[in-house]
Amino acid sequence: MNTPKAPDYVPGHGLLRGRTAVITAAAGAGIGGATARRFLEEGARIVIGDAHARRLKETEQALAAEFGAGRVTSLPCDVTDEDQVGALFAHAEQTHGGLDLVVNNAGLGGTADLVDMTDEQWGKVLDVTLNGTFRCTRAALRSFKASGRRGVVVNNASVVGWRAQRGQAHYAAAKAGVMALTRCAALEAAGFGVRVNAVAPSLAMHPHLVKVTSQELLTELTAREAFGRYAEPWEVANVIVFLASGYSSYMTGETVSVSSQHP
């Protein structure tokens, strides 16, 4: 059987026109970078953050050259640092006069059996993936509540928040925590008109994933997908656009699986 190819790239339809978005971990070719591009194609202004300052500046320059300097700004941001998170959100508000959308994409993985895992390995993954999402969600809700804007938060979770996978106890615990955080934040934010949802990708291929995951595991995970292929990062970004747009106006507290994976 021939492996199906990815579908044609979907053009923008102006779904986010005139809105301002903060996107974390947006440098490079992963889901964050794809989301930054998709938001620009849908008409948004974006403020992108990433812990890798050089890659972030290169991403900003490339996107600004294509979409216009006035629509793309960046600020280095390590989501484990509360001061840097605060600076990123303040930059968005000061540059664009307010904030409408937040995509919490920052996360950190790795593979280690629990019997061999150190406190440092466990803590580092949870601090970036879960605590970082908490810090940015808190900053977003504070901004929306103060401004009165009916904002939207989209968190990046993972199917491993639901499904067991060997060597992923820290990552799975963090992503399950992101799902729970999403549900609780959504209930709290509904009172001031703000929506909070999440996506849960299974396997979206990008260069960083290749560096931290063995080829054997990637082959195994790809074989589980019904389409016989991994997702392109922009296919996950399309669902993030949907959750950020008015097309999902009655959805909050939901985690949407972006997967063709079967048990």
CATH of the domain at 80: 3.40.50.720
**Predicted confidence (pLDDT) at residue 85 exceeds the cutoff of 90:** yes
Residue 7 resides in a domain: no
Give the domain range for residue 73: 22-258
pLDDT-derived band at 2 (thresholds 50, 70, 90) equals low
Query: Stretch 118-136: mean pLDDT, rounded?
Result: 98
**Distance separating the N- and C-terminal Cα atoms of the chain:** 20
Helix/strand/coil for 117: coil
Out of 171, 230, 247, 250, which one is annotated catalytic?
171
Query: Stretch 83-102: mean pLDDT, rounded?
Result: 97
Residue 129 resides in a domain: yes
Residue 16 resides in a domain: no
Give the global pTM. 0.92
Residue 6 resides in a domain: no
Active site residue 230: no
| CA distances from residue 111 to 43, 117, 165, 212, 217 in whole angstroms, order as listed | 38, 9, 10, 8, 10
- Name the residue among 250, 253, 246 with its Cα closest to residue 100: 246
- Using the CB atoms, write b or e for 166-185: b if 16+ within 10 Å: ebbbbbbbbbbbbbebbeeb
The count of domains in the chain is 1
Specify the residue for token string 């392109």: 232
Residue 113 resides in a domain: yes
Specify the residue for token string 């509540």: 145
How is residue 219 written in tokens? 């082959």
Per DSSP, 11 falls in state P
pLDDT at 221: 66
What proportion of the chain, given as a percentage, has pLDDT over 90?
A: 81
